[in-house]
A and B are shown apart, each in its own frame.
Chain A
């Protein structure tokens, strides 16, 4: 067993009951109690897919940590509570974790709606809330117990703008973005950077997460007559937009934010995402050892499945949590202080991650310029498409 999250326990006990076997719960207990990390995230509801991706990343990291002998001889484990990304449930979970002395720190939640509603409880309860996907600029302003490794959009978007404008030579851009706090913040940073690099932003269109039909939006884009489309999207909506853009005959270069980096993007987008450019934090042929270890380990554990951006965030987050526990032990305040002390934690996203104590975030994400070629993500060779 890699961890003792509740699903495993329930499944285990259900199986035990059904088989009528006298399977004792003692089988789950190890010689010493594991060090427990609370996770608040969506396992059901509209964002459930991201919760399941987190689990894959966490489980892989925990396997490796256990393989390396655990932390000071103790096992690291997590307790995943389903919040449905609903603020009402994330506050209850927050209070649950804060009241549970076994929990040493918390990871999540997924959306800023749910995370930031719970922040006051974590802050007052003195439990670190490590929101590793929370890019909302105000998330870490919730207090000195809020830390994040989410790539700051102030960092990422200028890189994307540089790729689109400087490297691909696009001069007149149409920006399509998810109309959420993330999409909106990203758009603003992107537009600012693109203008600095000398491009014109002809049109920006915000769409809601549930949107599936983009044909009319694409007519607006076409009428603005851009030479490139910028997608600030997740992989599922990004694939939809790319498909519909090609279907209505838009042939412009498409350049997307790193959040589309997922094998699903290619599966869902098919031929339409061929030649889509994207900036990412890592890629399959990346020679960095931590990336190779991550990808090889992931494929081995999950039957050859390619990891995506959210898997990588979760994997990094669990490794980061382990690094904190190594320094801070099981004392909650000491773990908070560990965030200020930790240096150069090996990370898929950052290479070496060190927190900026002022902003409580990590700067300097890695950057790779990829393009989809023959249904695969490949490093861009500099040839125009």
Chain B
């Protein structure tokens, strides 16, 4: 059928677009073993610099491309020098958080400079269309394909045949050994970031022209699709990234063909999970290649946790417990309710990510499962709210663990990416499974919180309820960490080979951690559902997962008190910065970067 030819061509065309971002990500991952979450922001910066060049300065296309490449490369160099280089000797996870902070800052700067309104970025190529199958392609399609393929080939040749390329690969394989051999590692990193950023900027420009539209929300989507494509192709493998992108485009296109448009991203993320489960190093990783992640626990470095005296904890606890009796505004209480709800999520994530080392980027999915279960139980089956919330916690524990179990054999960054995908899948299933979740309409009229027949509707009672639940969960978790089980968890995190040799079953312990963590997160989601009275598939989104991870890293991985402190800080700071209106997220990003810079092991340290 001719339609299939069209679907194939369309898949390749959009894969082509993904490839531009994926190649840059692959290059950086190849050298620094870092998923650069700021790549999408550089892409955004490139698009807007391109807009200035084209619309304001009327530069011809070749000049536009050169200008954008140089400017983006400069941004990349600045990021490398001031954002990442100071972190090179700290915890492996700190640079990841730094790139998230940098992307906040860059996106906000662009938004403040250019306003969030979308803009037209006219293509400077002649508007000729060539008929292929039932559709057409234009010169921009060819240019994008050309840039993607050429850059991949050039990079491949550069890495394989040039001296600097050798240095890059040597650095990638063993940074310390490369340094001993006289490789200037910093120069290598600079070169890589410059090239990757130039590529990212140009891709933003070309994609903006392709759609004749640029806006400040394009950065996260670009990063997400780029990461998927890159990992499918084999993280760090430049030609693999191109093929991974084309494959991703094809799978999406066929997904639309068979099931319809609203299933499109579902297929993208399913592809990712399947590839990761079958070939954890990506489709095109060669067998000889050194394992992409260290075998033992350098991903999360041990540090000396800050010891807080018991009496101090009790005093703080007491102050928060009697806070509603003091003359504080209800707004402060409401903000703290949000902090306690985030705290439960952070407790869950700090156990999973910090204690057992499975850094999850899809944790909001657990909230969503808990929230939907609790909401639907109380609405459809008239289950009392208290029981429904516990039901939400249990379902989240069971379903979450089952969903995440395929990623148990993965390590380091791959766990993060797999969980990111699983999080997206859960959100898309909620959107599409209309019979149960009511699809895009969402669930409204969820009954308010109540316990034993008493409705908790005043902010004060909700405050006490959520605070008590969080404290109980925190105490349970602290007890768990001190037990034999907690020590086994940490053994797996620090050295899974040694742990296995010692007779620990990795999957069983990982499951246990996710069951406990899933329960806490599910409870948090359940309470939120009854608090909001309305939830839909966007209530618990990727940003929420990223926020949770930020809290956990900020507080100190595995640190129970740290998770709570981090939650209060990250819920509180944006509220405190309200006085700065549009600038508040920018300030928030900068504060985050400073914290990562000066406390990479977290405020209270890893336990």
Contacts and interface: CB of A to CB of B under 8 A. Distances in A.
B440 A113 contact: no
Contact of A219 (B10, B262, B338, B448): B10
Interface stretch (B395-403, B494-502, B581-589, B590-598): B581-589
Given A113-B539, A206-B261, A219 B115 contact: no
A117 B534 contact: yes
A382 to B, nearest CB: 30
B118 A264 contact: yes
A233 B7 CA distance: 23
Interface stretch (A24-32, A91-99, A331-339): A91-99
Contacts of A46: 217, 220
Contacts, number: 218
A20 interface: no
Interface string B437-454: 001111011001000000
Instruction: Please name the 6 residue pairs, one residue from A and one from B, whose CB atoms are nearest each other, closest first.
Output: A117-B532, A48-B116, A116-B534, A95-B334, A7-B581, A215-B10
Given A179-B439, A219-B7, 15 more contacts: A52-B115, A52-B117, A92-B575, A98-B330, A116-B532, A176-B261, A179-B440, A181-B440, A184-B440, A206-B260, A212-B211, A215-B13, A216-B257, A267-B120, A268-B120
Interface stretch (B131-139, B305-313, B549-557, B599-607): B131-139
B257 A220 contact: yes
Contacts of B13: 215
B580 A99 contact: no
Interface in A53-110: 53, 80-82, 84, 86-89, 91-92, 94-96, 98-100
Contacts of A86: 543
Contacts of B265: 208
A124 B457 contact: yes
Nearest to B262: A206
A216 B330 contact: no
A138 B534 contact: yes
A48 B216 contact: yes
B534 A112 contact: yes
B264 interface: yes
Contacts of B220: 46
A121 B330 CA distance: 11
Contacts of A6: 578-581
10 contacts: A52-B116, A86-B543, A96-B331, A117-B532, A117-B535, A185-B441, A212-B221, A216-B261, A249-B134, A268-B213
B565 interface: no
Nearest to A269: B212
Interface in B445-469: 445, 448, 457-459
B41 interface: no
Contact of A243 (B14, B111, B212, B538): B212
B445 A138 contact: yes
A179 B260 CA distance: 12
A141 B580 contact: no
B531 interface: yes
B581 A219 contact: no
Nearest to B533: A120
Interface residues of B, number: 81
B64 interface: no
Q: Of residues A92, A112, A206, which shows the largest number of chain B Cβ atoms within 10 Å of its Cβ?
A: A92
B58 interface: no
B17 interface: yes
A96 B264 CA distance: 40
B213 A236 contact: yes
B581 A5 contact: yes
Contacts of B338: 88, 91-92
B39 interface: no
A298 B531 CA distance: 40
A170 B126 CA distance: 34
A239 interface: yes
Contacts of B264: 207-208, 211, 216
B108 interface: yes
B444 A213 contact: no
A46 B536 CA distance: 17
Interface of A: 5-7, 10, 43-46, 48-49, 51-53, 80-82, 84, 86-89, 91-92, 94-96, 98-100, 111-113, 116-117, 119-121, 124, 136, 138, 141-142, 176, 179-181, 183-185, 205-208, 210-217, 219-220, 222-223, 236, 239-240, 243, 247-249, 264, 267-270
Contacts of A141: 444-445
B236 to A, nearest CB: 26
B256 A10 contact: no
Given A5-B581, A141-B445, A248-B135, A87 B111 contact: no
A295 B585 CA distance: 33
A269 B341 CA distance: 43
Contact of A210 (B10, B221, B333): B221
A319 to B, nearest CB: 23
Contacts of A51: 116
B330 A99 contact: yes
Contacts of A222: 134
B539 A87 contact: yes
Given A92-B575, A240-B211, A270 B17 contact: no
Interface string B328-362: 01110111001001100000000000000000000
Q: Of residues A7, A43, A95, which shows the largest number of chain B Cβ atoms within 10 Å of its Cβ?
A: A95
Contact of B444 (A82, A88, A95, A136): A136
A207 B532 contact: no
A32 B4 CA distance: 70
B444 A138 contact: yes
A239 B134 contact: no
Contact of B253 (A53, A183, A216): A216
A270 B153 CA distance: 35
B11 A216 contact: yes
B536 A112 contact: yes
Contacts of A95: 330-331, 333-335, 459
A379 B441 CA distance: 34
B293 interface: no
A53 B543 CA distance: 24
Interface in B508-541: 531-536, 538-539
